[in-house]
Amino acid sequence: MKLLKGDENESPDEGSVEAGLTLIPTTAFFLLVMQLVITGSFQMIETIDLQSTLRRTALFGSEGSEFTFAHSRIVNQQSAAIPGGGELLLAQSVTRVPTISSFAPKSAKATSHVIVVRE
Q: How many domains does the chain have?
A: 1
pTM, 2 dp: 0.67
* Longest Cα–Cα distance in the chain: 91
- Residue 76's DSSP bridge partners are 92
Containing structural domain, residue 86: 18-118
* pLDDT tens digit sequence for 33-88: 998 898 889 889 888 988 888 888 888 876 545 555 555 677 788 888 888 888 88
The answer to whether position 51 is within a domain reads: yes
Domain assignment present for residue 67? The answer is yes
Q: For residue 98, which amino acid is it? A: P
- 17-37 confidence digits (pLDDT tens): 777 788 888 988 998 899 889
Question: φ and ψ at 74, to 5 degrees?
Answer: -110, 125
Please answer whether residues 55 and 119 qualify as being in contact, where contact means their C-beta atoms are separated by less than 8 angstroms. no
Residue 10 lies in a domain: no
Q: Is residue 38 part of a domain?
A: yes
Does residue 90 fall inside a structural domain? yes
